């Protein structure tokens, strides 16, 4: 095992000696991934889903047991303030957020609880998030398990965070706080599909903090920026740092988020670029040339039909 030594994923396996093979196995559902560094929390009580539904971007009041979901918490201007993934077991909602962000998230939830019958607790020391392989029983995917069951759930075939990140980036899924900044609004990250704006925002669930911004940009179209997949020049033996400036003809037109080496696509990354940047423009980050595979239509909104995935 080669551990990740720095960054938000420090402390868990970066790879196990063959990261490209690990990506193939993970894509097939045959490998487990240790994500036990990501903090876990619970929200219990009879009001947990109805209360959360009033304050998060996702429709969560009718969340079925065993179904994973994602949700954002926005500030008054619609900017991303917190984010989490979660699953409900019928009595308790189990959630996980990015390393370093649990304390602020739970403090905000606690302040917003008021008279709701909901109990919020950190489970970071007792439970862990893992990506279980299909061989662990049931479908491959995320599970929250007691920490003494992590090794058994992962099984003998494993992939590191390199593989997990490379597949995520290739799928165009942003990692909140790394692929976003303090100005990011949800409309910049996803095209609308039915009643959803990506996997974390429901467009017709009613009011919640920041909903006015989301609705206004959706109705009028044209968010300030758009998420794009970068196909990086493979002849350069480095990857961009998170937050690196992205240039077009010498002008800063965006920021790079996460990047990785993919087993089929080569070096790739995610970036937020100004809406006005032509989707076919060749960009530059440091000395690395980058072409775009747009993920969000620059005109996206109610008045247009999304042309991109």
133-176, pLDDT tens digit by residue?
Answer: 998 888 899 999 999 999 999 999 999 999 999 999 999 999 99
Q: How far from 176 is each of 22, 48, 149, 161, 259, CA to CA, in Å?
A: 24, 23, 28, 16, 14
Whether 2-170 and 223-299 share one fold: the answer is no
Q: How far from 243 is each of 5, 177, 232, 273, 291, CA to CA, in Å?
A: 19, 10, 16, 12, 18
pLDDT tens readout for residues 25-41: 999 999 999 999 999 99
Q: What is the mean pLDDT of residues 258-286?
A: 97
Q: What is the mean pLDDT of residues 99-107?
A: 98
Looking at the chain, list the stretches that DSSP marks H as alpha helix, in order from N- to C-terminal side: 19-27, 48-53, 102-111, 150-154, 161-170, 211-220
pLDDT computed for residue 236 by the predictor:
87
CA gap 143, 277 in Å, rounded: 39
Tokens at residue 70, please?
Answer: 């994602």
What are the structural domain ranges in the chain? 2-170, 223-299
Average pLDDT of the chain?
A: 94
| pLDDT exceeds cutoff 90 at 273 | yes
pLDDT tens readout for residues 176-219: 999 999 999 999 999 888 899 999 999 999 999 999 999 999 98
Q: Quote the percentage of the chain above a pLDDT of 70.
A: 97
Three-state DSSP at 183 gives coil
| pLDDT exceeds cutoff 70 at 13 | yes
Q: Give strand pairing partners of 120.
A: 43
Q: Name which CATH class applies to 223-299.
A: mainly beta
pLDDT computed for residue 221 by the predictor:
79
Closest listed residue to residue 88, CA positions, set 115, 54, 53: 53
CATH architecture of residue range(s) 2-170: 2-Layer Sandwich (3.30)
pLDDT computed for residue 309 by the predictor:
45
pLDDT computed for residue 300 by the predictor:
64
pLDDT computed for residue 302 by the predictor:
55
pLDDT computed for residue 298 by the predictor:
81
Residue whose token pair is 């970068």: 230
Residue whose token pair is 């929200």: 43
Return the axis-axis angle of helices 19-27 and 161-170, rounded to nearest 10°. Answer: 60
Residue 55 contacts residue 209 (beta carbons within 8 Å): yes
Closest listed residue to residue 82, CA positions, set 252, 256, 200: 200
As a whole number of Å, the CA-based R_g of the chain is 19
Q: What is the mean pLDDT of residues 228-237?
A: 94
DSSP assigned state of 16? S
Q: Is 284 exposed, middle or buried (0-12, 13-18, 19+ CB in 10 A)?
A: middle
Q: Residue 122, Cβ neighbours under 10 Å: how many?
A: 15
Q: What is the mean pLDDT of residues 261-276?
A: 97
Confidence class for position 3, pLDDT limits 50, 70, 90: confident
pLDDT computed for residue 172 by the predictor:
97
CA gap 130, 71 in Å, rounded: 19
- End-to-end Cα distance, the chain: 36
Confidence class for position 301, pLDDT limits 50, 70, 90: low
């Amino acid at each position: 095992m080669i551990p990740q030594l720095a960054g938000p994923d420090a402390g868990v396996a970066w790879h196990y000696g063959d990261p490209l093979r690990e990506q193939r196995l993970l894509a097939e559902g045959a490998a487990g991934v240790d994500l036990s560094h990501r903090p876990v929390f619970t929200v219990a009580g009879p009001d947990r889903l109805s209360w959360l539904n009033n304050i998060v971007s996702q429709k969560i009041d009718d969340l079925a047991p065993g179904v994973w979901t994602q949700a954002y918490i926005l500030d008054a201007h619609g900017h991303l303030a917190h984010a989490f993934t979660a699953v409900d077991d019928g009595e308790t909602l189990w959630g996980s957020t990015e390393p370093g962000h649990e304390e602020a998230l739970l403090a905000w939830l606690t302040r917003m609880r008021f008279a709701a019958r909901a109990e919020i607790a950190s489970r970071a020391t007792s439970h862990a998030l893992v990506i279980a392989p299909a061989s662990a029983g049931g479908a491959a995917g995320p599970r929250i398990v007691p920490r003494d069951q992590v090794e058994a759930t992962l099984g003998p075939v494993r992939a590191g965070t390199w593989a997990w990140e490379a597949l995520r980036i290739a799928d165009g899924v942003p990692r909140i706080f790394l692929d976003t900044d303090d100005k990011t609004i949800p409309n910049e990250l996803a095209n609308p599909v039915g009643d959803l704006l990506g996997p974390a925002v429901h467009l017709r669930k009613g009011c919640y903090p920041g909903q006015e911004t989301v609705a206004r940009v959706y109705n009028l179209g044209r968010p300030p920026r758009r998420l794009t997949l970068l196909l990086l020049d493979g002849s350069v033996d480095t990857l961009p740092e998170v937050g690196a400036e992205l240039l077009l003809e010498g002008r800063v037109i965006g920021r790079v988020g996460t990047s990785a080496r993919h087993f089929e696509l080569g070096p790739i990354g995610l970036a937020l670029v100004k809406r006005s940047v032509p989707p076919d423009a060749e960009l530059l980050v440091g000395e690395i040339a980058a072409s775009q595979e747009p993920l969000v239509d620059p005109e996206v909104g109610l008045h247009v039909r999304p042309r991109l995935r």
